[in-house]
Chains A and B, each alone.
Chain A
Amino acid sequence: MNERAGWVLPAASEAAQRVDRIFFVLLAVTSVVAIAIAVVIVVFCIRYRRSARADRSNAPAGKPWLEYTWTAAPMAIFLGFFAWGAVVYAGFYGHADGAMPIFVVGKQWMWRVEHPDGRREIDELHVPLGQKVRLVFATEDVIHSFYVPAFRMKQDAVPGRYTEVTLTPTRLGTYEMHCTEYCGTDHARMGGRVIVMRPEDFARWLAEGGRRSSMAARGFAAFRRLGCSGCHDPRSTVHAPDLTGLYGRTVHLQDGRTVVADDAYIRDSILLPKRDVVAGFDPVMPSFQGQASEEDILDLIAYLKSTGGREP
């Protein structure tokens, strides 16, 4: 794969174009200033070399107005770059209304991708051109970082939480994907490719590969397989919260706190059930650490969403 023809990195997402704009303005400004400093130093070094006859009278040991100027001027320029960078950065994490979610799980040393309709891939990510995509990251082991240089996009996958970014691919093609958080032996080989396809090709690609269950259907199967339904089924005799339509609701906890039942809450309730005990229930649920994989949990969340509720 040679995506850097002529040492130009393609810009294949909206974010990439915005990041490049800041990068090249920074390059222009810093280059001009660096060259100016270099020219001044060289000129002084030549004109005031010891063997040169030059006017050295009244050599200043300081000029407050000049020093205030060259304190304030960089500060103003810096604040400009700060604001520009912050605005673009905030856009990476903004509300992803209407964005298509794709789930990416890091694992020593591969990326496993799951689409909501159930299609899975390993070390490859197919995305549709021009459509806003929300990438949600989890990891089975250590910290990994998902990096697509052509998208100028990077996000760590952190144990114990979900992280996410939104992006819109803007250029067809196949691009490199890497892990950029050091994760052990085969860190350098943990990667693959991202394929940006026309939306109709993407739809066709999603439909390929024969019959399979959606994430929600797999979540329902996991709900039974892991034994969740034994207690949480509305018909169960065990006193446990009914989870139908839970997603996005406000939950009142034993200790008086209230939380919104989002992805992180559901995940924590499965792995750390003693942390957020629902008011009126006994803390009897065991942890499913080691039994439910990150993908099982993502499937379970998809299933709970499918039973109703709303986006938090």
Chain B
Amino acid sequence: MSATLPGSYLTQGYTLGSWLATRDHKRIGILYAIAVTLFFFLGGAAATLIRLELATPAGDLVSADTYNKLFTVHGVVMVWFFLIPSIPATLGNFLVPLMIGAREVAFPRLNILSWYIYVLGGLFTVAMLVEGGVDTGWTFYTPFSTMFSNTHVIAAAAGVFIVGFSSILTGLNFIVTVHRMRAPGMTWFRLPLFVWALYATSLILVLATPVLAMTLTLMALERVLHIGIFDPALGGDPLLFQHLFWFYSHPAVYIMVLPAMGVVSEIITCFARKRIFGYRFMAYAILGIAAFGFLVWGHHMFVSGQSVYAGMVFSMLSFMVAVPSAIKVFNWTATLYKGSIVFSAPMLYALGFVGLFTIGGMTGLYLATLAVDVHLTDTYFVVAHFHYIMVGGAVMAYLGGIHYWWPKITGRLYSEAWGRVAALVIFFGFNLTFFPQYLLGYLGMPRRYHEYAPDLQLLNVLSSGGASILAVGYLLPLAYLGWSLFKGPPAGRNPWHAKGLEWTTSSPPPPENFREVPVVTEAPYAYDPEEPVR
């Protein structure tokens, strides 16, 4: 496809075999991009059916059991096969070595192995779906999953267990790469915030994912052998499962959102043509979120029968983890001050992220407040809250990043106008889909219901209508980015006049990234708003 651009990583062989046997981090990033996109649309198809069912109060489109399988599949696929690998494994794989001036990641073979493990886990999951699916919810709560569900619980857990190893390998690779392979002069406080974010994310991947693997293993053993870890009849405790599960799954939220924060930091400085405001605070905030993120899991359990005092400790720590998030929003805002702002497509996605993340973060405060959480937990308020963070936040940032680095990755430009239209359609469709869900939650509509009280229909119809707009918004980039892949004009080295080592090499980059090892002599984001830009 890029035969006109000789000497790039894309021209190092055109056969399928040259891709499947590659060890080039850039090609692996693209392999991941293709795979996660397929899973995104699979998870999206389940979401579409869910919203269609909820357009009417009666459960008339699918049966209760089918609905239960649909939201389970939506959760499993979106969390483990899209959101967690999305930014780290695609943009991270492509960009971390480029941004630190390295020729490769530290372990190229482990890198391609991680992709194969991901595909294996994915095939397991697809096979499980074809066989009839699973109905436990993505949370696999015991004793429902161990003693009551008649669906393919073990196969589903096996898919998630397997894909976890690809996360661990990716995380390990980034940690070693950032420690050992930075170019001369690339000190820790000259690292772009995207690299800081990926570094912190990698620590979480390596430390938390094994706990998920153990938890799912114990759940499967309990289901098959009744070993008595979670079953009270055998002396076990079902709440133990929740503690173990959320010990992974709360930090997993930061696996999704920290890389998103990194992407947004890159985009905002570039299109405001200004140094990021408070670089060190931003870096420390990333580490703070990663560290505190390990200490708040119990806030998923305020009504579970957990001790009241444990609830208080987890509530306070949950408020504390919101502080660095607030700092980041303020610093992005301050970065705009005295900038020279251009509203290109990536910038629209990034500004959309800031707005949606702010709403998602603030509604998190309601859920951290113990007494209020008792009312709101397990209602649509929670559904709205985490979709604002994960879809409004992480997916907006992922798309912003794809647009921002697209010219670098493919060497081609896309239609700016269509890029902006898609960003606006997604922003509008997203809010119409999920804002009514906050109201539904406050009014007492429980989540995971395929039937509901008729007086809640209007809000549900608004949400389903918004979802159809959102679906169009997500399909648009497939069209114009697909067009760009074949017909887009050449982008040149640095179409955005951006700073950062990745923009100093050709687009698409040569196989070894840099023809000469770069030497770094200045702080990141050396933008000057008064400097004219052509």
Q: Which residues of A contact B (CB under 8 A)?
A: 1-2, 4, 7, 9, 15-16, 18-19, 22-23, 26, 30, 33-34, 37-38, 40-41, 44-45, 48-50, 54-63, 66-67, 70-71, 74-75, 78-79, 81-82, 84-86, 88-90, 92-93, 108, 141-143, 145, 147, 149-150, 152-156, 158-161, 163, 176, 178-189, 271-272, 275, 289
Contacts and interface: CB of A to CB of B under 8 A. Distances in A.
A153 B323 CA distance: 28
B209 interface: no
A84 B373 CA distance: 13
B444 interface: yes
A81 B369 contact: yes
A293 to B, nearest CB: 14
Nearest to B375: A152
A78 B320 contact: yes
Given A26-B372, A154-B375, A2 B446 contact: no
Contacts of A147: 378, 444, 446
B529 interface: yes
A49 B343 contact: yes
A33 B363 CA distance: 12
Nearest to B454: A2
A160 B142 CA distance: 12
Nearest to A92: B374
B338 interface: yes
Contact of A49 (B308, B341, B371, B373): B341
A44 B144 contact: no
A187 B449 contact: yes
B329 interface: yes
Given A67-B327, A88-B370, A142-B143, A161 B340 contact: no
A63 B278 CA distance: 7
A49 B343 CA distance: 8
Nearest to A182: B448
B462 interface: no
Contacts of A143: 141, 143-144, 238, 304
Nearest to B242: A143
Interface in B357-374: 358-359, 362-363, 365-366, 368-374
Contacts of A54: 338
A160 B238 contact: yes
Nearest to A68: B281
State the 5 A-B residue pairs at the shortest beta-carbon distance, nearest first. Answer: A160-B232, A149-B444, A85-B369, A89-B370, A88-B371
B354 A41 contact: yes
Contacts of A289: 233
Contact of A26 (B143, B148, B276, B369): B369
Nearest to B525: A61
Given A7-B439, A187-B68, A89 B319 contact: no
Contacts of B375: 16, 19, 23, 149, 152-154
Contacts of B137: 182
A59 to B, nearest CB: 4
Given A75-B319, A81-B365, 18 more contacts: A2-B455, A4-B456, A22-B371, A23-B372, A44-B336, A45-B336, A45-B341, A48-B336, A58-B338, A62-B280, A70-B326, A74-B322, A82-B319, A84-B371, A89-B371, A152-B374, A153-B374, A184-B144
12 contacts: A37-B333, A54-B338, A58-B338, A63-B334, A70-B326, A92-B374, A156-B305, A159-B231, A181-B141, A182-B141, A185-B64, A272-B235
Interface residues of B, number: 96
B323 A82 contact: no
A116 B480 CA distance: 68
A34 B443 contact: no
B496 interface: no
Given A60-B337, A142-B144, A189-B451, A19 B274 contact: no
Contacts of B390: none
A276 to B, nearest CB: 12
Interface in B306-354: 308, 311-312, 315-316, 319-320, 322-323, 326-327, 329-331, 333-334, 336-343, 351, 354
Interface of B: 59, 64-65, 68, 135, 137, 141, 143-144, 147-149, 231-233, 235-239, 272-281, 302-305, 308, 311-312, 315-316, 319-320, 322-323, 326-327, 329-331, 333-334, 336-343, 351, 354-355, 358-359, 362-363, 365-366, 368-375, 377-379, 439, 442-444, 446-456, 529-530, 533
Looking at B236, B320, B322, B444, which has the most chain A CB atoms within 10 Å of its CB? B444
A154 B303 contact: yes
A90 B319 contact: no
Contacts of B355: 38, 41
Q: Is the interface of A mostly helix, strand, loop or mixed?
A: mixed
Contact of B316 (A2, A19, A74, A82): A82
Nearest to A290: B233
A188 B450 contact: yes
Given A85-B371, A142-B143, A75 B320 contact: yes
Given A22-B371, A85-B372, A184 B449 contact: no
A185 B137 CA distance: 12
B323 A60 contact: no
Contacts of B455: 2, 4
Contacts of A1: 453
Contacts of A50: 273, 340-342, 533
Given A49-B341, A141-B148, A142-B148, A61 B276 contact: yes
Nearest to A272: B235
Contacts of A186: 64
B529 A59 contact: yes
Given A4-B443, A44-B333, A145 B370 contact: no
A187 B448 contact: yes
B66 to A, nearest CB: 10
Nearest to A187: B448
B370 A85 contact: yes
Contacts of B453: 1-2, 4, 176
Nearest to B455: A2
Nearest to A44: B336
Nearest to B278: A62
